A and B are shown apart, each in its own frame.
Chain A
């Protein structure tokens, strides 16, 4: 069974203090690993998809990386508006558009 574990559960940073969020996964053949941002009471907002080990993607202050066992979401010089819950999900190779298996998420708070 596919599994996703995210750590830490919560992270409090000072504005400008860079850090990384971890996502460890086990999946029977990886089709893609997804990062989403979720604000309170809202649906997840797509950030990145990574398909193979060694791949990296960047968007503003965020950079996602992927290995065969885990993914990191690096946040450089965060701002208070980066405060949100960050969700990691994996999609297995079993069939087209197979389900996403999510972790519990990491709640990030950035203090001004």
Chain B
């Protein structure tokens, strides 16, 4: 049973560029959340998607946007990249109807902005 799959694993981009990160949730999960984890910090909530709509959003600028597809997979887009966007981007999936028993996280995408 595959867990949460994220791609790519590593990415290097230049300031001002745009990036798209991808996530496939665990089988049976319908909700996808994205988190940003800077070095030495805990993960920070970016937003959550359910039924192809953004349901919750953390304190991140509009440069961060997302999408969820009918098969529950999701994309995170970041425009006009800044050096400060360098971080590990984590995708977490869950089942909205079940009692939360731990979101399942992927291994993340390490984004480096130079």
Contacts and interface: CB of A to CB of B under 8 A. Distances in A.
The answer to whether A binds B is: yes
SS class, residues of chain A in contact with chain B: strand
Given A97-B48, A97-B50, A46 B102 contact: yes
Contacts of B105: 36, 43-46
Interface residues of A, number: 28
A44 B33 contact: no
Interface of B: 4, 31, 33, 35, 40-45, 48, 50, 56, 58, 88, 90, 92, 94, 96-97, 100-108, 110
11 contacts: A36-B102, A36-B105, A43-B4, A43-B105, A44-B43, A45-B105, A89-B42, A96-B97, A97-B31, A99-B33, A104-B41
Given A48-B102, A102-B35, 6 more contacts: A41-B88, A43-B106, A44-B90, A99-B48, A99-B58, A105-B42
Interface of A: 4, 31-32, 34, 36, 41-49, 87, 89, 91, 95-105
